[in-house]
């Protein structure tokens, strides 16, 4: 994850990019590429021929490493310097509007690249299950063309209330899995789904991403931590995204938990297409451009389906996203 701690630094990087007019060139796939595991300000850890190397970035790139190269990237090395980047299959990034640090400039933060499967990890409890967060991740991942599954972890803590939520997502047709690192439920199935792929765990803090990573690694390599007693939130134990190879062909990227997911850069009119159960009704409203938002109910086919084929919760989730985009 990019850490931009200084407003000035960000401004300088932007200026530099502009002045030097650097257009990144990506090269086609090559057999001798190295895999990027983790990046920081000054160096990157890469994996090649079964060894891990600490490398720097060639001077031809006027950047700091973690603003150019990400876990999952494939790069070409020359004398311990990264000289080329292989064209990316996809990029997982999110927009973050950070009023204090970035002067209200929306900034796009890249988490990782070249992902075959993302796992949206939520805890059924501790921290409490927030389905709206799942909905947002679905939008982001579908928009990035990254296949995903939803992992309901801490299933040992499930109650009827959460069962209902899980059933909803299952009924909508999403690929879901119920796991517990305490009882081992679902973990063999999880392993099967992740085998021979580059996968990434994403979600809030404290939901068990690193615990699941440790399970795959059959080791307690990754630090995990209890969630705060008072806040009922995770304590952001993982601070940077990191790639782990848990079998010859199987990689997992563990990421830091995030608080919320901003979709303000999306277009209001596209959001309705990401709510699967809206699709049969999206074009049945009286007005072609109906947003299913402040239009009267008697003109809106989607609103008429609330508590029938569309749940109140999913509609509210949609409504909240539209409100946020409109307020931008
Ligand atoms: N009851 C229960 N607790 C779990 C389970 N999985 C993880 N935990 C606990 O949840 C806490 C948080 O787990 P982590 O793996 O650190 O969570 P994380 O998602 O990596 O959190 P960040 O790194 O902060 O984003 C730890 O105390 C784990 O022991 C589970 O299946 N059931
Ligand atoms: Mg973690
Ligand atoms: Zn409508």
User: To the nearest whole percent, how much of the chain has pLDDT over 70?
Assistant: 88
Q: Who wins on pLDDT, 227 or 224?
A: 224
Nearest to 26 by CA among 75, 59, 71: 75
Phi, psi of 141 (to 5 degrees): -70, -40
Can you tell me the distance from the alpha carbon of 117 to that of 90, in angstroms, rounded to the nearest whole number?
A: 11
Tokens of 159: 């109650």
Whether ligand 1 lies within 6 angstroms of the CB of 324 is answered as no
> Is the shortest distance between the CB of 132 and ligand 1 below 6 Å?
no
pLDDT at residue 82 greater than cutoff 60:
yes
Q: Which ligand is nearest to the CA of 202?
A: 1
- State how far the Cα of 27 lies from the Cα of 84, in Å rounded to an integer: 7
| Lookup: tokens for 295 | 């239009």
C-alpha dist (Å) from residue 285 to 134, 224, 239, 280, 303: 27, 49, 46, 11, 9
Give, to the nearest 10 degrees, the angle between helix 131-143 and helix 160-171.
Answer: 20
What pLDDT score does 11 carry?
A: 52
Q: Is 96 close to ligand 1, i.e. is its CB under 6 Å away?
A: no
Q: Say how many Å lie between the CA of residue 264 and the centre of ligand 3.
A: 21
How far is it, in rounded angstroms, from Cα 185 to Cα 107?
39
| pLDDT tens sequence across 259-293 | 889 898 889 999 999 999 999 999 999 999 999 99
The pLDDT of residue 3 is 36
Closest of 109, 117, 317 to residue 202, by C-alpha: 117
Quick check: helix, strand or coil at residue 247? strand
3-state helix, strand, coil in the chain (%, to 5): 30, 25, 45
Ligand 1: atom nearest CA of 236 is 24
Please write the tens of the pLDDT for every residue from 138-195: 999 999 999 999 999 999 999 999 999 999 999 999 999 999 999 999 999 999 999 9
208-215: average pLDDT: 97
């Amino acid at each position: 994850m990019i850490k931009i701690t200084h407003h000035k630094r960000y401004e300088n990087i932007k200026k530099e990019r502009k002045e030097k007019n650097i257009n990144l060139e990506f090269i086609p796939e090559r057999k001798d590429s190295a895999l990027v595991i983790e990046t920081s300000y000054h160096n990157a850890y890469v994996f090649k021929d079964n060894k891990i190397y600490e490398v720097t970035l060639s001077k031809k790139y006027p950047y700091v490493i973690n603003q150019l190269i990400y876990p999952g990237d494939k790069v070409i090395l020359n004398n311990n310097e990264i000289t080329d980047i292989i064209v990316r299959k996809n990029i997982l990034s999110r927009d973050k509007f950070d009023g204090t640090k970035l002067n209200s400039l929306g900034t796009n933060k890249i988490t990782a690249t070249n992902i075959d499967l993302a796992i949206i990890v939520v805890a059924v409890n501790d921290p409490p299950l927030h389905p709206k967060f799942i909905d947002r991740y679905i939008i982001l991942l579908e928009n990035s063309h990254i296949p995903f599954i939803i992992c309901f972890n801490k299933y040992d803590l499930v109650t009827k209330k959460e069962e209902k939520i899980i059933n909803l997502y299952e009924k909508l047709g999403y690929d879901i899995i119920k796991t517990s690192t305490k009882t081992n439920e679902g973990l063999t199935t999880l392993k099967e789904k992740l085998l021979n792929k580059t996968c990434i765990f994403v979600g809030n803090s404290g939901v068990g991403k690193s615990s699941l990573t440790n399970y795959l690694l059959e080791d307690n390599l990754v630090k995990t931590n209890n969630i705060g007693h008072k806040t009922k939130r995770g304590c952001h134990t993982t601070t940077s995204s990191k790639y782990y190879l848990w079998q010859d062909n199987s990689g997992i990227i563990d990421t830091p938990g995030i608080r919320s997911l901003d979709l303000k850069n999306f277009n209001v009119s596209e959001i309705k297409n990401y709510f699967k159960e809206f699709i049969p009704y999206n074009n049945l409203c009286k007005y072609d451009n109906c947003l299913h938002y402040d239009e009267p109910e008697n003109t809106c086919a989607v609103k008429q389906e609330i508590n029938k084929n569309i749940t109140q919760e999913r509609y509210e989730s949609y409504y909240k996203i539209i409100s946020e985009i409109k307020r931008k």
